[in-house]
């Protein structure tokens, strides 16, 4: 039995359980995956919840909004985690201590390479500097992006992300509202890490009239999978990567960390869409 879970706030819509249970089944493992929602736990405290999980037989847990940064401060990071990446989304409980990882940033890189091969990201404009934006920014750094342009309506948050990845030797610049149109036009790649495009927040975060000449686009939103942004990007000639790829590969990375198994991603994709065909449309 491999006992896993997800710690977060308002996580009832998460699809993580079905992915991890399916991956376990592929490996011949009996997996349980519990949702530990802070909205449903009286007097929730992160360290107490992690300790309870460790004491009650969990192999590990995923951590999501709004606890990734707090978890990073509490837990020893795995060696592959960049020192400056101040967020953890995967915690493994071992006899010699707890280890933290961020499979979002590794999952983004795997998804990018799966979709675009060895093509370099070039100059990339990213909207959104929250938790997923932190991970994709470090992913862009790992992929060798020439320049990372960050825009967030919360200027302080955007500038903080720029400072963080610049300190990690990335070439990054904050883009204000007045320079946003020029940044869209000059970019090779466009990334949405805002909630705009989700079923509950419909719309497109970019001005589609500025599309034309960009090479690729990624939307972190995966409900729905085909967003207004990606439809417009594809129509203008960009190659696109859906948010499902990030969800899928960060999940595989996390399961491999939890279980020690090695997952055949192509086989897992076929199994997942066979079991959950609605995931193709979100």
Residue of 184, 182, 190 lying closest to 126 (CA atoms): 190
- Helix, strand, coil shares of the chain, percent, nearest 5, are 45, 20, 35
Q: Is 276 marked active-site?
A: no
Whether residue 198 contacts residue 223, with contact meaning beta carbons closer than 8 Å, is answered with yes
User: CA 91 to CA 258: how far, in whole Å?
Assistant: 8
Whether residue 138 contacts residue 165, with contact meaning beta carbons closer than 8 Å, is answered with yes
> DSSP H helical segments within the chain, as ranges?
16-26, 46-55, 68-74, 103-116, 131-143, 155-167, 180-186, 228-235, 243-259, 265-275
Looking at 33, 35, 58, 67, which residue is catalytic?
67
Name residue, tokens 């192999």.
59
- From the CB of residue 125, how many other CB atoms can be counted at a distance below 10 Å? 24
Residue of 110, 105, 112 lying closest to 82 (CA atoms): 105
Residue of 135, 3, 1 lying closest to 59 (CA atoms): 3
- Cβ neighbours for 223, distance < 8 A, ≥ 6 positions apart: 13, 198, 199, 243, 282
Which are the catalytic amino acids? 67
């Amino acid at each position: 039995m491999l006992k896993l879970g997800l710690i977060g706030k308002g996580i009832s819509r998460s699809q993580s359980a079905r992915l991890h249970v399916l991956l376990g089944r592929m490996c011949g493992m009996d997996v349980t995956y519990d949702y530990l929602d802070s909205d449903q736990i009286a007097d929730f405290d992160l360290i107490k919840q992690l300790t309870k999980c460790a004491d009650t037989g969990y192999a590990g847990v995923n951590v999501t909004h709004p606890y990734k940064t707090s978890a990073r401060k509490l837990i020893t990071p795995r060696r592959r985690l960049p020192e400056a990446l101040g967020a953890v989304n995967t915690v493994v409980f071992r006899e010699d201590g707890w280890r933290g990882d961020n499979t979002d940033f590794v999952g983004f890189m795997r998804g990018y390479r799966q979709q675009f091969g060895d093509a370099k990201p070039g100059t990339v404009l990213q909207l959104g500097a929250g938790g997923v934006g932190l991970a994709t920014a470090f992913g862009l750094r790992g992929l060798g992006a020439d320049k990372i342009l960050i825009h967030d309506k919360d200027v302080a948050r955007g500038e903080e992300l720029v400072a963080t990845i610049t300190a990690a030797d990335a070439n990054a610049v904050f883009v204000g509202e007045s320079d946003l149109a020029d940044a869209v036009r000059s970019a090779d790649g466009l990334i949405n890490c805002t909630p705009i495009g989700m079923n509950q927040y419909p719309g497109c975060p970019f001005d589609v009239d500025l599309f034309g000449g960009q090479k690729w686009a990624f939307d972190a939103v995966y409900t729905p999978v085909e967003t207004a942004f990606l439809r417009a990007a594809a129509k203008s000639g960009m190659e696109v990567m859906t948010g499902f790829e990030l969800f899928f590969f960060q999940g595989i990375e996390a399961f491999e960390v939890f279980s020690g198994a090695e997952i055949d991603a192509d086989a897992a994709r076929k199994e997942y869409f066979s079991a959950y065909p609605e995931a193709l449309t979100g």
